[in-house]
Amino acid sequence: MDQNAIISKIEQLTRNLSNKNEILLETCKILQNEVAHYDWVGFYMLDETEKMLLLGPYVGKTTEHTLIPIGKGVCGQVAENKKTMIVQDVSKMENYIACSLEVQSEIVIPILKNGNFVAEIDIDSHAFAPFGNNDQHLLEKVANILSQLF
Ligand code: SME
């Protein structure tokens, strides 16, 4: 499925479903099914009072990282900097929270609402250096569509 088809499928979800977590979970499923190098796809949500990220809907292996402090790991850094981060080789990354030994690379895309960080899309890959401009472009579009849910 090409990028436009993925985008329109996700747009359809936002029109046809009313429950936020259901839309987020279905989005995870679409992304994981349609892109071969997306092995774990999930959302982390900002808990502003606790200054933490809370694990939201996801697909892939169960993770014990249900709470991540802002600033910690790739996820925590994206929450702070509000910019997409691509880590092509997680073994080279110092501020990194390992989820599973199979994971080689990761992309995290912030979801912004009126310029404020509200959540993020986190994708792990078992492939080495698989992420390119295409992924960033697709996922930033998806983040933009989903920001209306927050
Ligand atoms: N690797 C992430 C932690 C979340 S898991 O990938 C699900 C990080 O360094 O922030």
Report the C-alpha gap between 31 and 69 in whole angstroms: 26
Residue 99 pLDDT > 90? no
pLDDT for 126: 98
pLDDT for 90: 97
pLDDT for 75: 98
User: How sure is the predictor about 30, in pLDDT bands with cuts at 50, 70 and 90?
Assistant: very high
Residue of the nearest CA to atom 3 in ligand 1?
97
Residue 98 pLDDT > 90? yes
Task: Please give the average per-residue pLDDT across 47-55, as a whole number.
Answer: 92
Residue 86 pLDDT > 90? yes
Instruction: Find the residues whose C-beta lies inside 6 A of ligand 1.
Output: 40, 63, 65, 68, 73-76, 96-97, 99, 106, 122, 124
Find the helix packing angle between 20-34 and 133-146, rounded to 10°: 160
User: How sure is the predictor about 104, in pLDDT bands with cuts at 50, 70 and 90?
Assistant: very high
Q: Which atom of ligand 1 is nearest to the CA of 75?
A: 10
Question: What's the predicted TM-score (pTM) here?
Answer: 0.97
Q: Which atom of ligand 1 is nearest to the CA of 63?
A: 7
Residue of the nearest CA to atom 1 in ligand 1?
97
Residue of the nearest CA to atom 2 in ligand 1?
97
Q: Closest Cα to residue 90, out of 70, 76, 78, 107?
A: 107
Q: Closest Cα to residue 124, out of 37, 29, 65, 63?
A: 37
The DSSP 8-state label assigned to residue 18 in this structure reads -
Instruction: Give me 35's structure tokens.
Output: 């892109």
- The tally of CA atoms less than 13 A away on the side-chain side of residue 148 is 12
Residue 63 pLDDT > 90? yes
